Structure 1
Amino acid sequence: MVHEGWLMEALEKLLPVLLAFGCGIVLARRKVVPAESSKAFADYAFLFAVPCYLFGNISTSDLSRLFDWRALTGYAAAAALAVVLIGVFARMLGVRGPREMALRIMAGVQVNTAIFAVPVFIMMFGNAAPVFPVLLFQVCVLSLVIVSIMELGRPGGSGSRARKLRTAVVASLLTPVVVACNAGIVVNLLSLHLPRTVLDSLAFVGDSASPVALFALGLHLGGAGLTVRGTTREEMWLIAFKCVAFPLLAYAVCRFGFGVGGAWLHYLVVIAAMPAPQNLFVFAQRYEVSVDLSAALVVKSSAVALALLPLWMQWAAPAG
């Protein structure tokens, strides 16, 4: 009965997510709203609304509670182990190129934070604060590793590899989401008190991030569609690893390796269960590697992650 109650509670909290997400799918399928417009909605959320939300919340949060270093270290260790496992599996399937390998690691280890995890956490827990440390770790560590491999593996082109790598790293660190997080931390550490009107304005814009991001994802999914019959073996094992194996790995490493429990264990498992990141497709296009595979992984892992989310909510909460 306890588990059934948790499942019902998770489903009830998930209803707003399903409403925004499902509305995007329906409107795209019926061609009421062009699926191509999903990029405009996603850009608004990623480049403006989410940074407003992150800056406003981080600047006023208790950083000692926000950055639980044992929990974050446990998650980083689980991610490192996942990188090794994906590398081994990819080589077994014949993947040899460094850029192809890096893209598959990105698909299996990184999570869709700004467009998926932030709105889901707001809907499910009323706050997306637990996502912030993982988001910073992902962008400032994992993404920089991926960018480095991609740039160093890029053939030819103008300019030295070192210069291209430096440009890519700087561009990654200057994305609005990263700037907002770092600026919020600085304001918090310096104990700067922003005017209430500024915080209210940031909250007003930030509150729109969740429904707009989920609506954009629904539009994208509705336009792309899902072809289950055409799913390749590689797609299946990457989606299974991202949506099932990685959350279980995060649970095992964090709980038994680092003694993480309670709410943080719950949060980390749910974060790990988020789908492949939206910028996987952006990276694939930019570096001209496995573009079709990346598009399929973003769309299909999003659908699978959304379907499994109530089960992770039910399983992880009592376990902590």
Structure 2
Amino acid sequence: MSGVISGFTVIFIVVGVGYVLGRTRVIGDRAHEVLSRLVFFVFTPALLFHSLVTSDLSVVFSSTLVIAGGGALIIATAYLVIAKLTLRRGIPELVIGALSSSYVNSVNLGLPIAIFVLDDASFVAPLLLFQILILSPMALLALDLTALERESGRSVVKDSLIAPLTNPIVVGGIAGLVVSLLGLMPPAAVMSPLKMLGDASVPTALLAFGMSLTGVQIFKKGESPRRDILLASVLKMVAMPLAVYAIARWGFGQTGHDLFAQVVIAALPTAQNVFVYATRYRRGQILARDTGLITTIASIPVIAAIALLLA
């Protein structure tokens, strides 16, 4: 449990610093939007490229990829269906909600927990790859086509082909995968600055998240989409660990430490990337923010319970 506590302590401290910066307005009233744009357009693409180029793809492409990716897809689809039928939201809000219910905080919290609790960081890598190359591109394409204004007369088909090529996160992930598959290693003069920029992604996203909490009230009546947040939070913290358990246990016959690791990774909270995406497209920001906060707090007792039952 020391690894869990350590990982969460790091997150809360950085978010707290962001909150203080937001309260004092040291760096301006809309600083969290500027930081979110930096994360979206610069830091995260650099992080993805560097991570994929330096990853061992033989470890990434494993049964863990199918288990983690399958669980995320099941939960995201469940949110889309339930929210569409019962809440009747627009496509951008549905996409942000689906991400809030299935997009795992696999970097700044997943890595510490994988290292200190599971003693193996390789459990996080397949899920990170799935989120980079499959879940994010699908979601960002939908947001590009529905949340951004298009010029009159432009073809939806054409936009659907062009949008991924102009999205920096998708481009960074695909470029990193291609370079890794080709067995190429860019020179240190290229990789070093990319690593520096990539290392700024997680803390900057957490700072932006903390700033966004300034002066807000969770579940505020008339402002917060309470049913959306509740649905996303329950799916993320209850349904997703159960779905991954079922896939790993009965689909792949996993038991012991491997099964425990799969379920713990699935129980990680919603990533702050979702809030960054919501801020970029100006849709579902409160949904992403509140779900991220609630699942971060809820994941502490959930992971503790999983450890007691499966460890």
Sort the TM-score into its range (normalised by shorter chain): 0.7 to 0.9
Query: Is the 1:122–1:210 Cα contact (8 Å) retained in structure 2?
Result: no
Kindly indicate whether residue 108 of structure 2 is the aligned counterpart of residue 119 of structure 1: yes
Q: Which amino acid is 1:202 matched to?
A: L
Q: Which amino acid is 2:217 matched to?
A: L
Identify which of 163, 166, 186 aligns with 1:194. 186
Identify which of 172, 175, 198 aligns with 2:164. 172
Cα separation, 1, equivalents of 2:150 and 2:195: 46
What secondary structure sits across from 1:222 in the alignment? coil
Shift of 1:110: 4.4
Kindly indicate whether residue 117 of structure 2 is the aligned counterpart of residue 137 of structure 1: no
Alignment TM-score, normalising by the size of structure 1: 0.76
Shift of 1:167: 1.2
Q: How does 1:1-320 map to 2 (within 5 A)?
A: 6=1, 8-68=2-62, 70-90=63-83, 93=86, 95=88, 99=91, 102-103=94-95, 106-107=98-99, 109-111=101-103, 117-125=106-114, 129-130=125-126, 131-144=128-141, 146-147=142-143, 150=146, 158-159=152-153, 163-222=155-214, 225-230=216-221, 231=224, 232-259=226-253, 261-262=258-259, 265-266=262-263, 268-270=265-267, 273-274=270-271, 277-278=274-275, 279-280=277-278, 282-283=280-281, 285=282, 291=283, 294-316=284-306, 319=310
Cα separation, 2, equivalents of 1:263 and 1:191: 33
What secondary structure sits across from 2:125 in the alignment? coil
What secondary structure sits across from 2:109 in the alignment? helix
Shift of 1:84: 4.8
Cα separation, 2, equivalents of 1:92 and 1:264: 34
How many residues align? The count is 295
What secondary structure sits across from 1:118 in the alignment? coil
Cα separation, 1, equivalents of 2:47 and 2:302: 25
Residues 255 and 166 of structure 1: is their aligned pair in 2 closer, same or farther, counting only changes over 3 Å? farther
Shift of 1:36: 1.2
Query: Is the 1:239–1:297 Cα contact (8 Å) retained in structure 2?
Result: no
2:118 is aligned to: none
Query: Is the 1:38–1:216 Cα contact (8 Å) retained in structure 2?
Result: yes
What secondary structure sits across from 1:38 in the alignment? helix
Query: Is the 1:78–1:250 Cα contact (8 Å) retained in structure 2?
Result: yes
Alignment TM-score, normalising by the size of structure 2: 0.77
Report the identity percentage.
22
Q: Which amino acid is 2:262 matched to?
A: L
Query: Is the 2:272–2:292 Cα contact (8 Å) retained in structure 1?
Result: yes
Shift of 1:216: 1.2
Q: Which amino acid is 1:139 matched to?
A: S
Q: Which amino acid is 2:70 matched to?
A: A
Q: Which amino acid is 2:293 matched to?
A: A
Residues 43 and 85 of structure 1: is their aligned pair in 2 closer, same or farther, counting only changes over 3 Å? closer
Shift of 1:304: 0.8
The RMSD of aligned alpha carbons is 3.5
Shift of 1:173: 4.2
Where in structure 1 are there 5+ consecutive unaligned residues? 1-5, 286-290
Cα separation, 2, equivalents of 1:295 and 1:147: 13
Q: Which amino acid is 1:82 matched to?
A: I
Q: Which amino acid is 1:306 matched to?
A: T
Q: Which amino acid is 1:71 matched to?
A: T
Deviations, residues 173-222 of structure 1 (Å, cap 9, x unaligned): 43222212211122122222322232222222222222112111111222
Cα separation, 2, equivalents of 1:136 and 1:310: 28
Cα separation, 2, equivalents of 1:182 and 1:269: 24
Query: Is the 1:57–1:129 Cα contact (8 Å) retained in structure 2?
Result: no
Shift of 1:148: 9.1
Where in structure 2 are there 5+ consecutive unaligned residues? 116-120
